[in-house]
Each structure stands twice: as structure tokens, then as C-alpha cells.
Structure 1
């Protein structure tokens, strides 16, 4: 079963959920704000995409961190530790449980994967 990790009111997550709903895809939604981060899902995402891609440094949460915290993120372990504490730092959405792991939302790619039956 697909699991989409994200934050309910994130615009990108809303677009991704809308596409899955329109395609009648079966999935569960894991809201980081209510349920926290899933450490194993983060480890899997970091293993596939690299921790630098999973850690969202472009958002407000990263910019608000103090310099000492930012400098302390030097490897996967420190990145995951910080993302577990500050779930808004995780690139969204993250989709697990299918034929492939997805990070971020690309409407064209997702639509192709759904049409071809390659998402789940």
C-alpha cells in the first residue's frame, strides 16, 4: 500500500494528493505535523536520493535555524536527526510502499507512472 508522507496544508502535497485521488489510487496519508516523521522512511529516502536531496534547505524552517545547527548537519545521521525534530525540513511529498520511492512532486511523471501501473 502506498503511503504519502507530508504536511496536510503544503501546496505541493495538496497537488500530489489531488492527482492520486483523481486517479483513484489507494494510499494512506501520514501527516508529519500530527504523526511525526518515520525514521525508516527517511533512511530509505536518504539511501536512494542522498540526504542532501531529502533535507529541504530552501524553506523558511531552514532559514530560521541558527548557524550552529546548520553547520552541524554534515552527514546522513545528523540530517535525519534534525529532520526527525523539525519535520518541515523534509522534502515533500515522500511516497513509499509502491514499486518505487518518490520524493517531491512531478505531475507528469506521477501521471505516467499511474497510467503504466508502475507506481504500485
Structure 2
């Protein structure tokens, strides 16, 4: 099964990750994070498989995150509420999200990609 590459086409980090996948001949299916925002159930699965803290799934440098004042609000929200919020707007999700159904990476770090997807 090809990787699911959940990304936003204008995102420079996504472009770097995509270039890495192509240069390393890694097959992937591209999914537009805004047009096909992952559901709360999909995000819950990604979160559990990633082994990362849920706050890592938030695009903390995004305008939407700042507009909503989430820096101060997340601590008082349940996991359920945070996952529902992420599912409500693809621009709140850190990207790209890459998964093969078992492993998950968030963002793009060449060393993580080499370790996980080569």
C-alpha cells in the first residue's frame, strides 16, 4: 500500500517532504488536508499510532491556531475536544502527516523520513 501523504500544496514543508519522497522513489497517495480533512476517528488512529503527544498534531505556527488563541486553551481541553477541533479544520493540523497505516510521521525532518520511510 502506498503511503498516505496528507498535505497542503502551498506549504513549503510539504513541498520539501514531497521532493524527498520522489527522490527516494517512495510511492505515495497525495491527500489535500483542507479538501479531505481527516475525520476525528482517523486523527485518533494517527495520534495513537504516532506515539506523539496530541499537542504535536497542532500547526502552532498557523494563523488559525493563533486566531483561536489555542496556545492558552489546549491545556484545558480534553483529548476528545482537541481531536474534534483538529478534524474541524485541516489548517489546524501540523503537516505533512505521512502514514503507511502502522507508522506515522508529522512535519518533515529528513532524518525521520530516512529512518521511517526508506
Residue 40 (structure 2) aligns with:
39
Verify the 8 A CA contact 1:45 1:54 in the aligned structure 2.
no
Aligned residue number for residue 97 of structure 1: 100
TM-score (norm 2): 0.81
Taking the aligned partners of 1:110 and 1:77, their CA distance within structure 2 comes to 29
- Bigger radius of gyration among the two: 1
Tell me the matched-pair count.
Answer: 113
Q: TM-score, normalised by structure 1?
A: 0.80
**Which residue does 2:9 correspond to in 1?**
8
Runs (5+) with no aligned partner, structure 1: none
CA distance in 2, matches of 1:104, 1:66: 22
Report the RMSD for the aligned CA atoms in angstroms.
Answer: 2.2
CA contact (8 A) 2:97 2:105 kept: yes
Q: For each residue in 1:20-56, what CA deviation from the matched residue of structure 2 results, as whole angstroms up to 9, or x when unmatched?
A: 0111111101111222224343112322212111122
Q: Name the counterpart of 2:54.
A: 51
Partner Cα separation in structure 2 for residue 35 and residue 100 of structure 1: 20
Residue segments in structure 2 that go unaligned for 5+ positions in a row: none
Q: 1:66 to 1:55 in 2, by over 3 A?
A: closer
